[in-house]
């Protein structure tokens, strides 16, 4: 097996058994990146020198007998995470020259375990998009078929795993930005419960929805990564101080007697036939494994996309005000202050970011606030209540991740509404603040991956990881590799 | 027509915490520009605010001391606007559900009456940085941004429009100033902007119940300027109406040099701040226990202390007011009384000699070189006739200069009062012999010369003769 195709647990065993060094593994990954990047474009910045230095340090650590599960493992992270001394663009021209003076807590935790950073991954600009087409650094391509989008906004994070350019990656998920690209690229992606992972040092898109999570080759790796980044951070007031379970040790508990809800609003008649087939097969697999299915209802699902595009854009319009050219980032040449603001932001932001800033500014404006922002918050509460009610009867819910497999590059770029609707099954989870995971569950007729979504109760990551692991053990979807 | 002014005040109180409201940076004044900053107060991408608990404690104290209700679940909100000194493009403040609501202060108005001024709300917020123009940037036309002050904690205290004159406004402001400095939550320095005020002013015909259109006056940073700015603005609005014009809602800036206000921006140009709850901060939940603990920890407030000085120590109202001008002054007074001084006498000395010496040297009471214990010792020396009141002033001057104990000074300089009648009698005999003419005058009915003899005796004894003994002996001798 190629080193670059290994999972975290396989490479960890090899590192620990001294069959391979971290420098060798890192070198193999860097060579793989060089060979496939021209076709995929997962990275905005590759950091070979820092990576090899970190790998050498990890090898010394391993030689001392100090080998954590992530020590010496070459990873890559979305360019939304601040990395001290390494350029962080968030996919935007406005941060093209931004070198942060500090690092995100989640990356610091991985680094503390001895993980090696290969570089920073492509994404939709400021995480606003579902296709990676809004990146100022070119569109990442789907490794399964490079005419197709990888999904977004963590498109680079999913494509890098699928193309074996990193053993595992970190992404962020505001309305589906981990799960939808994981689904489109055939990897595992988990959005933890809001507050489970620190947001400190993660460039904010919509603060009440943003959450950090891993994208990996299999569920066991996902458990390892989540265990490494979860936990309370005193620098993030919204991070929650509840104990972090040992996700890895309980993976094999199985699903016998597990009650799985099927929300009827997610199995609509218009669902893509390939997706429907994959869902039916998954339900059959779980039945065979001993799980019970219960029909549930999430009655306010229809309002989720509209609610999301009011709350997320409102928060974004405020979060993105700091990119004004005064202290960091792009500053346009200008005569006066107003012109500097206007030109810097006009030149620095792309069209989708501008669209969302305008939407959000409008939603918060005097005279419209109650009709839009306040009403959206009320609907958000109803959506949360939907989940609470449904979870009174079930342990997890099973749904598609996206209505279709990946679409072609350019297909929806001029139709924002169609693009927004591709997140219809993922957005409600962010509004409810709970956790969900995407895992490989089949392929479309065109040979593109289809993902299955397992939604858990708040802080129920352990349960969805167990259910995901059981499914993975019973199927082969996750073993298929993109042929790039 | 006669007009009635209507005034409401918004006061910004900078809190005396060691660190900023949402990060651990120091709040020290006057450091190198941008030396007290971090990712949070610089508004760097990814940085998040964490609330400083001390700020909440100070806000609760301010609220309880102004008769406010403490909101059990209060919310931080973002106030959005662009300005180079505002790093995030929004200020974290409170909008709906501020920490304190529905309070009041009773202010003193003419003729010793009190008037209740309602306080709408007190909320917590962060300060902005400041712009530095000129040389700093190395270009003549350049401007720099110093973010040391960014994220410094402020309370904004908003009154109802209950004030009806500039004097009432100043009285309210002074009382609020006294409370926040008394609590030790603000240094009260108005020149440095630690305590600053915006005034909302309107006028209406006397007898009307409908308020006129108001103007908001910004940048008033002394009690004198508050009075000046409000009076100017009242007159400006009256003149405008009398001339057939109408007052427009606007923000006006006070110019301390000319004593006038000028338009800064109209209602149409006013910002739409697009307030919304800050998703980076969770709602602030304050339990009843927390409020009760704060209530127990409150110091005795100026009003209560005045009452106690009057009821328990027998001070007149005037003395009680003067001696509670600041907490340090009241503490000094009480320490003097506790050390054995008579309350009225200690008070007189503080209001007299000590205040004079403090003012002459620009010394705050906190650094008074004469301790309350030393003052009490000095007063005891008068009481037990060791020295006269006159000599005491000499001793006090020496204490101020040298910091020595009064007993030591009296002994070193031989200032002990002479009460021995034999010694005094011999002085009197000498003086009467040398001034036979005046003795005759006195005996002939010119009793006024008695003062002359007292003066001569005191002079001859270098002020040390006990005045009571001198009086008695002189009277006997002169009557012959």
The per-residue DSSP string of A305-357 comes to: HHHHHHHHHHHHHHHGGG-SSSSSS-----SSHHHHHHHHHHHHS-HHHHHHH
Residue B408 lies in a domain: yes
Band of residue A212 on the pLDDT scale cut at 50, 70, 90: very high
Same domain, B56 and B108: yes
Chain A closest-CA separation from residue B85 CA (Å): 9
Sign of CA dihedral A155, A161, A163, A167: positive
Contacts of B89 in chain A (CB under 8 A): 318, 320-322, 324
The answer to whether residues A145 and A446 touch, using CB atoms and an 8 Å cutoff, is yes
Neighbour count for residue B359 (Cβ, 10 Å): 9
Residue B111 in domain:
yes
Residue B104's SS3 state is strand
Q: Among B290, B312, B347, which residue terminates a domain?
A: B290
**CB pairs below 8 Å between A and B: how many?**
99
Q: Residues 6 or more apart from B454 whose CB is under 8 A from it?
A: B467, B470, B471, B474
| Per-residue pLDDT, A123 | 98
Could you tell me how many residues make up chain B? 480
Question: A364 to chain B: which residues are within 8 Å by CB?
Answer: 80, 274-276
Cβ-based burial of A374 (10 A; exposed 0-12, middle 13-18, buried ≥19): middle
pLDDT at B138: 58
Q: Which domain holds residue B351?
A: 300-412
- What's the confidence (pLDDT) of residue B116? 97
Residues B464 and B374 reside in one and the same domain: no
Residue from the list B42, B145, B281 with its beta carbon closest to the beta carbon of A237: B281
pLDDT confidence bin for B136, thresholds 50/70/90? low
Q: Are residue B405 and residue B441 in the same domain, yes or no?
A: no
Cβ separation B45–A98 shorter than 8 A: yes
> Which region among A20-24, A253-257, B165-169, B381-385 has the lowest average model confidence (pLDDT)?
B381-385
Point out the least confidently predicted range of A36-50, A440-454, B136-150.
B136-150
Distance of alpha carbon A390 from alpha carbon A461, whole angstroms: 17
pLDDT tens digits, residue range B252-305? 999 999 999 999 888 777 889 999 999 999 999 999 999 999 999 999 999 999
Nearest Cα neighbor of A264 from A290, A308, A294, A304 is A294
Contacts of B90 in chain A (CB under 8 A): 318, 321
Contact between residue B253 and residue B262 where contact means Cβ atoms under 8 Å apart? yes
Closest chain B residue to A342, measured at CA: B82
Asked if residue B342 and residue B195 are part of one domain, the reply reads: no
* Cβ–Cβ contact B439 with A under 8 A: no
Backbone angles phi, psi at A25, to 5 degrees: -65, -45
Closest C-alpha to B479, from B451, B439, B430, B452: B439
Phi-psi region of A151 (alpha: psi -120 to 50; beta: other; left: phi over 0): left
- Searching chain B, which residue's CA lies closest to the CA of residue A83? B46
Segment A220-235 shows an average pLDDT of: 98
The CATH number of A3-253, from 3.90.1300.10, 3.90.79.10, 2.60.120.330, 3.40.50.1580, is 3.90.1300.10
Q: Does residue B349 have a pLDDT over 60?
A: yes
B109 and B205 fall within a common domain: yes
Contact (CB<8Å) B82/A324: yes
**What span, in angstroms and rounded, lies between the C-alpha atoms of B20 and B129?**
12
The pLDDT tens digits for A83-134 are 999 999 999 999 999 999 999 999 999 999 999 999 999 999 999 999 999 9
Chain A contact for B46 (CB, 8 A cutoff): yes
3-state secondary structure of B201: strand
User: Where among B271, B290, B309 does a domain terminate?
Assistant: B290
- Cβ B46–A324 below 8 Å, yes or no? no
Q: Does B295 reside within a domain?
A: no
Same domain, B182 and B57: yes
Q: Do B276 and A318 touch (CB under 8 A)?
A: yes
Residue B137 confidence (pLDDT): 56
What's the rounded mean pLDDT across residues B113-136?
A: 91
Write the pLDDT tens digit of every residue in A426-440. 999 999 999 999 999
- Nearest-angstrom CA–CA distance, B338 and B133: 54
Distance of alpha carbon A171 from alpha carbon A104, whole angstroms:
12
Q: What mean pLDDT do residues B438-451 have?
A: 86
Using the beta-carbon criterion (under 8 Å), do B39 and A90 form an inter-chain contact? no
Do B316 and B286 sit in the same domain of this protein?
no
Mean pLDDT of B207-235: 94
Mean of per-residue pLDDT scores for chain A? 97
Q: Which residues on A lie below 8 Å from B33 (Cβ)?
A: none
The answer to whether A101 touches B37, Cβ cutoff 8 Å, is no
**What is the C-alpha separation between A59 and A61, in angstroms, rounded?**
5
**CB within 8 Å: B274 and A337:** no
Give the CA distances from residue B155 to residues A43, B127, B196, B254, in Å, rounded to whole numbers and listed in that order: 47, 10, 11, 22
What pLDDT is stored for residue B469 in this prediction?
Answer: 86
Q: Indicate which of A84, A319, A320 best probes the interface with B, i.e. most B CBs within 10 Å of its own CB.
A: A319
HSE-up of residue A47 (Cα within 13 Å, Cβ side): 22
Q: Cα B212 to chain center, whole Å?
A: 33
Judge whether residue B208 has pLDDT over 60: yes
Residue, of A349 and B432, whose pLDDT is higher: A349
User: What pLDDT was estimated at residue B139?
Assistant: 61
Portion 181-240 of A in contact with B at CB < 8 A:
199-204, 206-208, 234-238
Mean pLDDT in residue range A168-190: 98
What residues have CB less than 8 Å from B367, skipping those under 6 apart?
none
| B-proximal residues of A, 35-94, CB under 8 Å | 81-82, 88, 90
- Rounded distance between C-alpha atoms, residue A469 and residue A464, angstroms: 8
**What is the C-alpha separation between A389 and A424, in angstroms, rounded?**
20
Please indicate, yes or no, if residue B355 is contained in any of the structural domains. Answer: yes
In a shared domain, residues B148 and B284: yes
Q: Higher-confidence residue: B212 or B136?
A: B212
Report the gap between the CA of A131 and the closest CA in chain B (Å): 23
Tell me the shortest Cα–Cα distance from B53 to chain A, in angstroms: 13
Cβ atoms of B152 and B101 closer than 8 Å: no
Is B319 found in the same domain as B265?
A: no
**CA-closest candidate to residue B324, choices B312, B332, B335:** B332
CA B77 from chain centre, in angstroms, equals: 32
Same domain, B398 and B440: no
- HSE-CB of A445 using CA atoms within 13 angstroms: 5
Contact B82 A369 (CB under 8 A): no
CA–CA gap between residue A173 and residue A190 (Å, rounded): 9
Mean pLDDT of chain B: 92
Helix (H, G, I), strand (E, B) or coil at A190: strand
Same domain, B132 and B211: yes
Domain limits, chain A: 3-253, 302-378
pLDDT (tens digit per residue) in B395-443: 999 999 998 999 889 888 878 888 788 888 888 888 888 888 888 888 8
Q: Each residue of B157-176: pLDDT tens digit?
A: 999 999 999 999 999 999 99
Q: What distance in Å separates the CA atoms of residue A281 and residue A288, rounded to the nearest whole number?
A: 11
Measured between CB atoms, which of B47, B49, B276 is closest to A237? Answer: B49
Lowest model confidence (mean pLDDT) among A141-145, B128-132, B227-231: B128-132
Compute CA A401 distance to the chain's CA centroid, rounded to the nearest angstrom.
Answer: 12
Is residue B274 domain-shared with residue B353, that is, in the same domain? no
Count the residues in chain A.
484
- Between chains, do A322 and B282 touch, taking CB under 8 Å as contact? no
pLDDT of the residue at A270: 75
pLDDT at residue B135, rounded to an integer: 65
End-to-end, the C-alpha distance of chain A in Å comes to 16
Out of B290, B308, B333, pick the residue that ends a domain. Answer: B290
Total domains in chain B come to 3
Listing DSSP states for A221-290 in one string gives HHHHHHHHHBS--TT-TTS---PPP-TTTTGGG--TT-EEEEEGGGS-TTS-HHHHHHHHHHHHHHHHTT
List pLDDT tens digits, range A193-209.
999 999 999 999 999 99
Active-site positions of A read: 78, 153, 177
What is the biggest distance separating any 2 CA atoms in chain B, rounded to whole angstroms? Answer: 99
Q: B175 lies in a domain?
A: yes
- What's the burial of A247, exposed, middle or buried (CB within 10 Å: 0-12/13-18/19+)? buried
- Looking at the complex, does the CB of residue B136 fall below 8 Å from at least one CB of chain A? no
Distance, CA of A377 to CA of A307 (rounded, Å): 8
Is B282's Cβ below 8 Å from some Cβ in A? yes
Cβ contact A327–B43 (<8 Å): yes
Mean pLDDT within B176-189: 96
Angle of helix B467-479 relative to helix B436-443, nearest 10 degrees, comes to 80
pLDDT at A299 over 60: yes
Residues of B in Cβ contact (< 8 Å) with A326: 84, 87, 145
B30-52 pLDDT per residue, tens: 889 999 999 999 999 999 999 99
């Amino acid at each position: 097996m190629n080193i670059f195709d290994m999972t975290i647990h396989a490479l960890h065993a090899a590192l620990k058994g001294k069959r391979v060094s971290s420098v060798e593994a890192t070198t193999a990954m860097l060579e793989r990146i060089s060979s496939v990047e021209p076709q995929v474009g997962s990275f905005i910045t590759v950091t070979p020198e820092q990576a090899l230095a970190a790998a050498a340090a990890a090898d010394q650590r391993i030689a001392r007998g100090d080998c954590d599960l992530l020590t010496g493992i070459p990873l890559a992270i979305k360019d939304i995470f601040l990395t001290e001394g390494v350029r962080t663009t968030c996919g935007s021209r406005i941060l093209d020259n931004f070198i942060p003076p500090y690092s995100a807590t989640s990356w610091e935790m991985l680094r503390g375990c001895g993980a090696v950073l290969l570089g920073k991954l492509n994404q939709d600009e400021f995480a606003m998009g579902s296709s990676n087409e809004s990146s100022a650094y070119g569109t990442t391509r789907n490794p399964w078929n490079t005419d197709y989008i990888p999904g977004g906004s963590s498109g680079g994070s999913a494509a890098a795993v699928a193309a074996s350019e990193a053993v595992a990656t970190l992404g962020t998920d505001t309305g589906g930005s981990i799960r939808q690209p994981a689904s489109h690229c055939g990897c595992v992606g988990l959005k933890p419960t809001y507050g489970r992972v620190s947001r400190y040092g993660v460039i904010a898109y919509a603060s009440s929805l943003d959450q950090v999570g891993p994208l990996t080759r299999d569920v066991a790796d996902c458990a390892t990564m989540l265990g490494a980044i979860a936990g309370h951070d005193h620098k993030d007031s919204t991070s929650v101080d509840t104990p972090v379970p040992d996700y890895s040790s309980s993976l094999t508990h199985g699903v016998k007697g597990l009650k799985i809800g099927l929300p009827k609003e997610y199995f609509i008649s218009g669902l893509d036939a390939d997706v429907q087939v994959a869902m039916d097969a998954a339900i059959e697999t779980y039945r065979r494994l001993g799980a019970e299915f219960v029909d549930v209802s999430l009655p306010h699902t229809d309002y989720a996309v509209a609610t999301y595009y009011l709350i997320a854009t409102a928060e974004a319009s405020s979060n993105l005000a700091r990119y004004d050219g005064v202290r960091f980032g792009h500053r346009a040449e200008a005569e006066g202050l107003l012109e500097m603001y206007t030109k810097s932001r006009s030149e620095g932001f792309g069209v989708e970011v501008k669209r969302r800033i305008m939407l959000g500014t409008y939603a918060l404006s005097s005279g419209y606030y109650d009709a839009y922002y306040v009403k959206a918050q009320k609907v958000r509460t109803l959506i949360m209540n939907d989940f609470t009610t449904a979870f009174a009867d079930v342990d997890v819910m099973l749904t598609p991740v996206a209505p279709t497999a990946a679409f072609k590059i350019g297909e929806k770029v001029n139709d924002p509404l169609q693009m927004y609707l591709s997140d219809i099954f993922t957005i409600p989870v962010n509004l409810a603040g709970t956790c969900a995971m995407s895992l490989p569950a089949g392929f479309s007729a065109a040979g593109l991956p289809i993902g299955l979504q397992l939604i858990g109760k708040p802080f129920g990551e352990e349960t969805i990881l167990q259910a995901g692991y059981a499914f993975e053990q019973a199927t082969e979807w996750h073993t298929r590799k993109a042929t790039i | 027509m006669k007009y009635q002014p209507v005034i409401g005040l918004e006061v910004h109180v900078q809190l005396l915490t060691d660190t900023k409201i949402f990060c651990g940076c120091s709040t020290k004044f006057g450091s190198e520009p941008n030396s007290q900053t971090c990712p949070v107060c610089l508004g760097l991408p990814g940085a998040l605010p964490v609330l400083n608990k001390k700020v909440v404690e100070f806000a609760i104290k301010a609220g309880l001391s102004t008769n406010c209700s403490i909101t059990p679940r209060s919310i931080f909100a973002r106030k959005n606007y662009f300005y180079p000194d505002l790093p995030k493009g929004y200020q974290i403040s409170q909008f709906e559900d501020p920490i304190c609501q529905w309070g009041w202060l009773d202010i003193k108005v003419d003729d010793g009456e009190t008037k209740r001024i309602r306080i709408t709300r007190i909320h917590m917020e962060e300060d902005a940085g400041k712009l530095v123009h000129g040389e700093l940037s190395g270009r003549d036309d350049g401007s720099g941004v110093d973010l040391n002050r960014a994220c410094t904690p402020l309370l904004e205290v908003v009154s109802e429009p209950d004030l009806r004159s500039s004097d009432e406004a100043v009285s309210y402001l002074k009382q609020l100033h006294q409370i926040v400095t008394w609590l030790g939550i603000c240094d009260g320095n108005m020149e440095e902007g630690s305590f600053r005020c915006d005034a909302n002013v309107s006028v209406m015909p006397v007898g009307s119940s409908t308020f006129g259109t108001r103007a908001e006056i910004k940048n008033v940073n002394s009690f004198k300027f508050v009075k000046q700015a409000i009076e100017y603005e009242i007159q400006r609005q009256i003149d405008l109406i009398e001339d057939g014009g109408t007052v427009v809602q606007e923000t006006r800036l006070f110019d301390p040099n000319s004593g006038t206000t000028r338009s800064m921006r109209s209602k149409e140009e006013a910002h739409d701040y697009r307030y919304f709850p800050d998703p980076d901060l969770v709602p602030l939940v304050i339990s009843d226990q927390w409020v009760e603990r704060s209530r127990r920890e409150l110091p005795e407030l100026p009003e209560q202390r005045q009452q106690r000085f009057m009821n328990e120590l027998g001070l007149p109202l005037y003395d009680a007011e003067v001696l509670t001008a600041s907490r340090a002054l009241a503490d000094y007074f009480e320490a003097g009384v506790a050390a054995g001084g008579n309350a009225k006498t200690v008070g007189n000395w503080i209001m007299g000699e000590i205040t004079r010496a403090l003012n002459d040297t620009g010394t705050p009471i906190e650094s008074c070189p004469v301790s309350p214990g030393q003052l009490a010792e000095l007063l005891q020396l008068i009481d037990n006739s060791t020295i006269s009141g006159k000599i005491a002033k000499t001793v006090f001057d020496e204490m101020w200069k040298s910091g020595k104990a009064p007993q030591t000074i009296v002994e070193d300089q031989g200032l002990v009062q002479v009460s021995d009648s034999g010694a005094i009698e011999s002085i009197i005999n000498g003086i009467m012999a040398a001034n036979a003419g005046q003795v005759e005058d006195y005996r002939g009915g010119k009793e006024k010369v008695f003062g002359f003899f007292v003066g001569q005796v005191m002079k001859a004894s270098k002020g040390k003769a006990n005045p009571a003994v001198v009086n008695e002996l002189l009277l006997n001798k002169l009557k012959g």
